[in-house]
Structure 1
Amino acid sequence: MNELNVRAAAAGEYDEVRVLFAGAMMFDSSPTELGRRMFEPERTLVVTDGPDIVGTTQALTRDLSIPGAVVPAAHVTGVGVKATHRRRGIMAQLISRQLREVPEAIAVLWASESGIYGRFGYAAAAWGMSYEIDLHRVGPSNVKTRPGEISELPADGAIKELAPLLQALQERRPGVSGRSDLKWQQHLEDKPDERGGKTARQILVHRDESGTIDGYALWRGKMHWTATGPANEVHLEELVAITPAAYQALWQHVLTLDLAGTLEFGFAAVDEPLQQLVTTPTALNRRVTESLWVRVTDVPRALEQRRYAVAVDLVLDVTDDLIPANTGRFHLTTGETVRCEPTDAPADLSLSTTELGAIYLGGRQLAEFAATGRVIEHTPGALTQATAAFNWPVAPVSLEIF
């Protein structure tokens, strides 16, 4: 039996890494030239058995909106182990080493198997809302749309119009991942053999009275008929609006398309204002699921780079079974500046990096974890103060599975 080795990938190993991950996830691999251009071998770890790659994980270089800031975040993806090499600790080796080596203060991922990542200090930090809207029941908007215009945008040249809107959303809502030009190109690829029977992607934009684009929606249609007539499917892929007028107009448009019976959308926020725009909210058929998972890799830096809803002055006793530098007491003070520094002072609260990851985007309450003993209050009132500080008025949302 060959010795298993962990190393960074080589520049020419994109195809092999892609094939291995596709096999682990049970989908057909289609390496592309764009994928090769985006490949970051120095941020890709592989496990080899002799000449063969049998395990891999990647950390993409992207930024993420957090409460009050947009910061670098390791976007973890491509985690897979060859079926012949399961149950040998390969995934644990890969994830542990990756978390110790990433230069960013936080790592984020979408968990295909949520039971795995909690073992490594990740925690679900954002909930996603998915819709299966009955367009025959949902009813027209109760809110009058303001003047503006909906039009279609050709895919060629769309990036320069859409990218600033995504950046503007990052300034407003945590959990949103930034996109490079290459990532935008990949995001807007529209290969006919990958449409699953749906139409080509439509890019809708809303222009305000001055002609400025202040919102967009990406959607596809699919023909469907029932015994009683047409009930076509609307598949909304993404909707970004930075003004109320754009939000109302774009939703009104996709909810009232002719011959349509259902609309599916999988990337809404839990505080999505959509229910204000319909007469029958129950027809939205909402389902809440875990979306973005967060792992704090550098406690002081992670806590200093976000902002807080109220001022705090607390000592946190933090434990981390994987990254020793994260274990200890940290003095967190907020105000015009945020400081988080090691200290020997008595702790106000005890918790682990898992709980810090869960509350990091402001979408979960710290008090939730005190109810199960995962957060311990040592100073009366500290839990209430910390819960209020880490909370954020806008729920985090992740717009894509990466």
Structure 2
Amino acid sequence: MTGFDIRTAKAADYEEFLALFGGAMMFEMQADDLGRQLFEPERALVAVDSGEIIGTTRALTRDLSVPGAVVPAAHVTAVGVRATHRRRGVMAGLISRQLRDVPEAIAVLWASEPGIYGRFGYGAAAFDVSYEVDLHRVGPPDVRMRPGELSELPVDGAAKQLAPLLRSLQERRPGVSGRSDLYWQKHLEDKPDHRDGKTARRILVHRDETGSIDGYALYRGKLNWESSGPANEVSLEELVALEPAAYRALWQHVLTMDLSAKLGYGYAALDEPVQQLVTTPTALGRRVSESLWVRVTDVARALADRRYAVPVDVVLEVTDELIPANAGRYRLTADGPTAPARCERTEDPADLGLSVTELGAVYLGGRPLAEFAATGRVTEHTPGALATAGAAFGWPILPASIEIF
């Protein structure tokens, strides 16, 4: 790497940082007060050439649900390089330094170019299912006998009522990012010039028989008219439901909107229960892609932070070319899903061998170790260790990330 320096960002870099990343992604990014408040210069890096910013990356301070726990996770975003400085090692320099610097035991990101991040030890740990639902064919069930009621919330004060539900979802499903008050404010921001021709956001809530909110959906509509008549589009942005009645009622509502022909939803899980609620699942129009990528930056701490589905006692030999201090053998022990885990360095012979990339891929419980053993990326040294450890790393509920950050 020559011709540029990497340094920690400064508060005064905010607008130039934003402009560089927006240019790299080919869309306009407007500086505003809320964005400035969320900018953590001490957690952002810039590459500089002749005093000009040519590359960016930042890590957001947020937490993430993992199997059996909610832990701090460096939420990596805004990775960009000026078009005139590509293929010069700028991105590699930024990402490598960032991963060595973050204090959290794991870093996570959504990859705009998935082929890049495996080189740095990230593994695709969760999958995103996008729906493009044909509302004329999907055939949702009749749930008129459901308990509870639906109503809409005004934006003012909504975050305080919705935040506990998101936290409860984190306690159930791995892969869900937490939101501070400022991140909730940003999430519910609804500037007219960002709506792409759609209506203002609706905040739909379900209340149980006691009047408490136990589910919500964020959605918009868009007017569309075809030769055959009205064919409006519904954009479901987020749906969180803690109880089956809330889940059924919210989906029933968005799948039966008057004058509507299509519903789009970009953050479904692989095991999304709505598949059970419709009479024609093929009308959901499912498309699967990687969502959350995980990079383990501190093996012992990361493995001790999560829980394990069954008791386990296994020695893992981990390789890590980027962070040599991570490499070595670790004994992982746990007594089941409710017990704290222990992970310590050991000189005992390894039962399984893998790189930090595979460790990241299985960390959220959504991908089996056996998947990587089939291609030689996980090596079994002790007969039976793969089955035992694979069962322990799995989790009953698949991970899903419900927002791009």
**What TM-score comes out, normalization by structure 2 length?**
0.98
Deviations 1:167-206 (A, max 9, x none): 0000000000000111111111111111000000000000
Counterpart in the other structure of 1:202: 202
Which position in structure 1 is the counterpart of 2:193? 193
Deviations 1:279-336 (A, max 9, x none): 1111111111110000000000000000000111111011000111111100111113
Aligned pair in 2 of structure 1 residues 281, 3: CA closer, same or farther (>3 Å)? Answer: closer
1:352 and 2:350 correspond: no
1:169 alignment counterpart: 169
Matched length:
401
Q: Does 1:42 align with 2:42?
A: yes
Q: Give the deviation of 1:145 after TM superposition.
A: 5.0
For the residue of structure 2 that corresponds to 1:167, the secondary structure is: helix
Contact 1:225–1:232 (Cα < 8 Å) also in 2 = yes
In structure 1, what residue type is equivalent to 2:349? P
**Aligned mate of 2:382, from 368, 379, 402:** 379
Contact 2:310 2:392 in 1 (8 A): yes
- Residue 54 in 1 paired to residue 54 in 2? yes
Mapped pair 1:293 → 2:296: no
Q: 1:368 maps to what in 2?
A: 371
3-state SS of the aligned residue for 1:129?
strand
Q: Unpaired segments of 5 or more residues in structure 2?
A: none
1:354 match: secondary structure? helix
Q: Tell me the distance in 2 between the aligned counterparts of 1:90 and 1:20.
A: 13
Identity in percent: 72
Distance 1:206 1:217, change over 3 A: same
Alpha-carbon RMSD across the aligned residues, in angstroms, is 1.0
- Equivalences for residues 107-146 of structure 1 within 5 A: 107-141=107-141, 146=146
Task: State the match for 1:315 in structure 2.
Answer: 315
Contact 1:365–1:391, Cα closer than 8 Å, also in 2: yes
Q: Give the drift of 1:143.
A: 5.6
Range with bigger deviation, 143-152 or 257-266: 143-152
Partner amino acid, structure 1, of 2:116: I
Q: Does 1:392 align with 2:401?
A: no
> 1:175-324 counterparts in 2 under 5 A?
175-324=175-324
1:270 Cα offset (Å): 0.5
* 8 Å contact kept, 2:199–2:220: yes
Paired AA for residue 320 in structure 2: D
Give the Cα separation in 2 of the matches to 1:291 and 1:174: 13
Distance 1:50 1:139 in 2: 61
2:136 and 2:254 map into 1 onto residues whose CA distance is 13
Shift of 1:29: 2.0
Task: Tell me the TM-score normalised to structure 1 length.
Answer: 0.98
Conserved? CA contact 1:314–1:348, under 8 Å: yes
